[in-house]
Structure 1
């Protein structure tokens, strides 16, 4: 491997929700430097569980008496309350390097807002209309950059024997860039992004990006990750987001055209004008598609995130959970990665194959931890999925006693029974520590 590193994966006990954090420390680098991250931050259970978890995370990240604790990467998978209810609190207490969000064009964000059945002035609607403006308005928020991960075209299974690249696309590494990538320069992590000026003038990303850049405050930058691009830490660790655009909600051509005509009104920053545009567009959408009474469906888009070493090595794994009789359990493995799925869908073999084709088999085969989709819901799973992934540990984050959901569902739990299932629930966390060499 060439590096010695200590990695920690934590799933906080927030009940019916998901709040996960992690850290990477290069032990062979002097002085050592930690890279801290968060994936989702929300719960439908009592907010006191989330507040307690935020306190624990704040205590785990030393500040040396200067400033606030720093998170290098915060990723939000989608916009359900049980995944983002704590985002404002988190941004008010932690400085953030990169905030990574799934990108959808404006018309798709509006469809999600309409299906959520929230007021036009609600936090969720405001966030979906212009996430950069929303974040910029959070008191004491300090985010260096907001990154958007775009979805690509439908992926087919690679042909048998195809030369699938083992690494995602990255900028060419020469000279100073190469030193930065290895963690020797001032930038501990590098990200492959696209310049707005390089995008077609009619591209939704360019149109959205120009408005969002104007809405940014306090030096926050806005960028789009290049498709199949990664966040690379010190040349030895990667974060690779997967945005399954095939699951995006759809709307008619006339609706999309009307959204483009009202883009100035929606993103111009004048609240009364934005509200009038939202009312008109919701009336148009309702006339075309009767969604009254349907459950909110913003988890159709859920940003997966793979994190793991670029080069494999030997891993000592220590897992801690209430089911561990002596505190920490121990094992050796040649795996090291984690796959966060949020509320994503792997409910058909085709969707699993698309995800695997994007990430490449060697990443899917190297998982120490899988965060099981949608708290273990049957609707997001298909029979035999666990045997295709074969993680060392399967983590469910939910409240099993919830009267409505009862996550995880029994058939999903049974499928993962051979892959060390661990339950994060109210006040009960799951922690996995790795020493990799």
Structure 2
């Protein structure tokens, strides 16, 4: 959804997703009115903001969060719900691009996001349908070799949660004949993403945190000694500002606009399949994603629907017909579901960085930001939220590593970044079709 949609008359509701329809109850949170002062102000009540805010509230800071729509309105409440270890850029890519030391540092935190999520669920009794295990499915022998290389590399860093699956072994998890095999990651899992966000918001508020909803930011002053955030109804002056708008921050902070590009991905949810039919599709109830550049991802919901996602639209616009776009892919993987009823279809944006590595840094002395998870934000945002909280409270050791990682603008700038990326995706999609 473009930034200007926040300017519509009246409150901005959640998208028409299965997650919104099955969300846990949430309290009314008023918009920002009047002028306020606080220790820390966070813009964006998605996973990055919630993770940062909850860590800081646990440390005793006075934290106020401003959200343009509602808690979890963006990618945090619309995504595939998959707990996947790692970044979009592989450890192998990071090692080649940034060196062995940086790769070793990243290897030390690739599973941290999933650990944080589980700790939050346990500590604050968050009801979000946590299930264990995720599978990377391979279509070709080349994909299998890619997964084998990944397993060996991760094992070299002491990460031993993954194991290869032959075609026959994969059939014990997925009732589909399209795959050559795969790899299971026992540290992965899946959740109801919006309910996780709502539970984290409730935990944050239980510690004294304040969230203002329906309060899109219109101006930010990061140059002042105490940064200031302004909405149409009020303002907040703070000692430290944290920008966590990610793909939905828009052009409010021009210094960040060129760093990432909004990309939409689409999802649908079938009608309830029934226990027997659903368990026959994915007997071990794991979540699944394939290893193609433009991938499919899917899992079962708690009420036994198949939630199936995939596709990319660079620039963050929505396709005209989500069902028509995704159903052929769903029926290719599960031909036994041909003609299945679809109850929900929706789209949402994530922020893509050119390097596929998330970015963390500062604007001036007292404004922090994190964004660009490139489709791996469920876990990455939770890890980055902890690192931001560490830096703000005085431990900059991990923050400094990420702040120093080079970032690159998209070739062609804002005007041509979409066609450039589309051409790149055509190339990788061709490689996927050719199996190379």
TM over 0.5: no
Task: Decide which structure has greater helix share.
Answer: 2
Relative CO higher for 1 or 2, CA cutoff 8 Å, sep ≥ 6? 2
TM-score by length of 1: 0.25
